[in-house]
Amino acid sequence: MPFFFVPLVLPPFIVKSFSHVLRSAVPNPERGQGIRIIKGVHHRAAGGNHWWKTLGETINGKEVAWTVPLTVLLFGGLLIHKWHQSLRRDLASLGASVKAAQSDSDQRLQALAVEREVTPHDATLTFPSLISLTEDELLALRKWIGHGQSIKLLYRGSRDGFTVTDMLRRVGSASPLLLLIRQDCHLFGCYMEAAIKQPPRTNRCTGQYRCHLWFFALRGAFDTPIKIAVPPERRLINVAGDHASIKSDLSDCRGKLCLGRGYLWLGWGLPGPTNDVRSMHQYIGGEHLPESYRGEVNRRGCGTLASTMNGNAIEVEVWQVLSSTAAERREGVRQTGEGEGGGGRQSVVCHDGSYVCDPCF
């Protein structure tokens, strides 16, 4: 509302305080001052009862010239306008203080959430994460990573930065790892027993090294959460340094991190690479797609766990899966029964340059 409408509701004492001054300033035709009262004008107007007439009668007890209420309006409006500006400044300052306090409180809560370990066998399990999981999705993860295991958040893109460098710095040499990616309404990821190794120099790549890994989809590509195993020739990781890249053998595309011999690329670009961990390429070969897959396939029969094979993720998180015993935690080794020999085995990390990462177009 414009400030000059506010004086219409001024308290009477403000109006009366100016009455003696205004009466002396108003010309009086009875004293021969030659200015006539505009009584006739009021009665000729539509309705014959304007707001300034009523205000004039309140001040002087009779109809007066229009200059009297106009002076009151202008002066009162100016005072209220100044008061309104001062009030807005005070409210803005108060709002900034409240927002700063809330931000500080949120940061402390996030820090506490990161420090605590989450145990999947807890019936009330909730990840301290921006990626919310349903009960079915949590139960599926518990089944896949093993009962009694606990997890700890190492990296969250929205908190730590969305560069590949940020992710590698936060994850360090921790293992085993659970990579969780959200793209639109799709939620999927990858489990890796080995650590994400750093190349010896920033302008080099690690070369592909073996790592027991598997992919999973929690929502989007399937009606229910599902785990996707990959054959031994796909259990490979390749990591590029800050000033290096991994090149596709089928195109001029490049990336910074390649998992599963091309099943998942991070820092993906054409021609690329990009240091943005959200820029990704993900596909699963038709021979490894479960029958319950309900997404789209390309001309090669490949599907994807994401909404599109090439796209940008909304959130990326990396969790460390901690073993159930103190001795295994110190060693960073997780026993699994999914090895080629059928028995439990430890994760194996070794260099192997005989395979080439191949994306699917």
Together in a domain, 145 and 249: yes
| Domain assignment of residue 180, given as a range | 121-331
Give the containing element (helix H, strand E) for 180: strand 177-183
Please indicate, yes or no, if residue 110 is contained in any of the structural domains: no
Evaluate if residue 287 carries a pLDDT over 80: yes
Helix (H, G, I), strand (E, B) or coil at 296: coil
Please indicate, yes or no, if residue 357 is contained in any of the structural domains: no
**What b/e sequence results for 110-132 when a residue is b if at least 16 CB atoms lie within 10 Å of its CB, and e otherwise?**
eeeeeeeebebeeeebebebebe
Together in a domain, 156 and 292: yes
Residue-wise pLDDT tens digits, 143-158 = 998 866 788 999 999 9
Please indicate, yes or no, if residue 101 is contained in any of the structural domains: no
Q: Which of 174, 183, 123 is nearest to 151 (CA)?
A: 174
| Centroid of chain to Cα 73 | 50
pLDDT of residue 103: 60
pLDDT > 70 fraction of the chain, expressed in percent and rounded: 60
Please indicate, yes or no, if residue 89 is contained in any of the structural domains: no
Q: What is the residue-averaged pLDDT of the chain?
A: 72
Grade residue 127 by pLDDT with cuts at 50, 70 and 90: low
The answer to which of 179-193, 206-220, 270-284, 315-329 has the lowest mean pLDDT is 315-329
Evaluate if residue 338 carries a pLDDT over 50: no
Together in a domain, 207 and 315: yes
pLDDT of residue 323: 72
Contact (Cβ atoms closer than 8 angstroms) between residue 250 and residue 359 = yes
Grade residue 91 by pLDDT with cuts at 50, 70 and 90: confident
Give the bridge partners for 310, in sequence order.
281
pLDDT of residue 40: 40
The answer to which of 73-87, 154-168, 184-198 has the lowest mean pLDDT is 73-87
Together in a domain, 74 and 140: no
pLDDT of residue 217: 95
pLDDT of residue 230: 92
Residue-wise pLDDT tens digits, 14-67 = 445 445 444 544 455 454 444 444 444 444 444 444 444 444 444 455 444 556
- The packing angle between helices 51-60 and 67-115, to 10°, is 110
CA-to-CA distance for 264 and 255, rounded, in angstroms?
Answer: 10
Please indicate, yes or no, if residue 114 is contained in any of the structural domains: no
Together in a domain, 153 and 276: yes
Evaluate if residue 342 carries a pLDDT over 50: no
pLDDT > 90 fraction of the chain, expressed in percent and rounded: 37
Q: What is the mean pLDDT of residues 214-227?
A: 94
pLDDT of residue 117: 45
Give the bridge partners for 321, in sequence order.
151
Q: What is the mean pLDDT of residues 273-293?
A: 92
Q: Which residue among 33, 59, 83 closes a domain? A: 83
Cis (ω within 30 of 0) for the bond into 225? no
Please indicate, yes or no, if residue 94 is contained in any of the structural domains: no
Grade residue 271 by pLDDT with cuts at 50, 70 and 90: confident
Evaluate if residue 274 carries a pLDDT over 80: yes
Q: Which residue among 55, 83, 111 closes a domain? A: 83
The answer, as to whether pTM is greater than 0.75, is no
Evaluate if residue 177 carries a pLDDT over 70: yes
Helix (H, G, I), strand (E, B) or coil at 300: coil
**Lookup result for tokens 């290096």:** 244
Tokens of residue 178, six digits: 């659970």
Together in a domain, 132 and 16: no
Together in a domain, 174 and 246: yes
Together in a domain, 38 and 149: no
Together in a domain, 45 and 162: no
Together in a domain, 23 and 136: no
Tokens of residue 133, six digits: 């999981």
Together in a domain, 162 and 302: yes
Together in a domain, 14 and 158: no
Please indicate, yes or no, if residue 102 is contained in any of the structural domains: no
Evaluate if residue 236 carries a pLDDT over 70: yes
Evaluate if residue 219 carries a pLDDT over 80: yes
Please indicate, yes or no, if residue 108 is contained in any of the structural domains: no
CA-to-CA distance for 226 and 215, rounded, in angstroms?
Answer: 9
Tokens of residue 236, six digits: 């490979």
Grade residue 99 by pLDDT with cuts at 50, 70 and 90: low
Give the bridge partners for 318, in sequence order.
155, 179
Domain count, the chain: 2
Residue with the larger pLDDT of the pair 15 and 292: 292
DSSP of 266-294:
ES-BSS---SBTTEEEE-B-GGGS-TT--
Evaluate if residue 275 carries a pLDDT over 50: yes
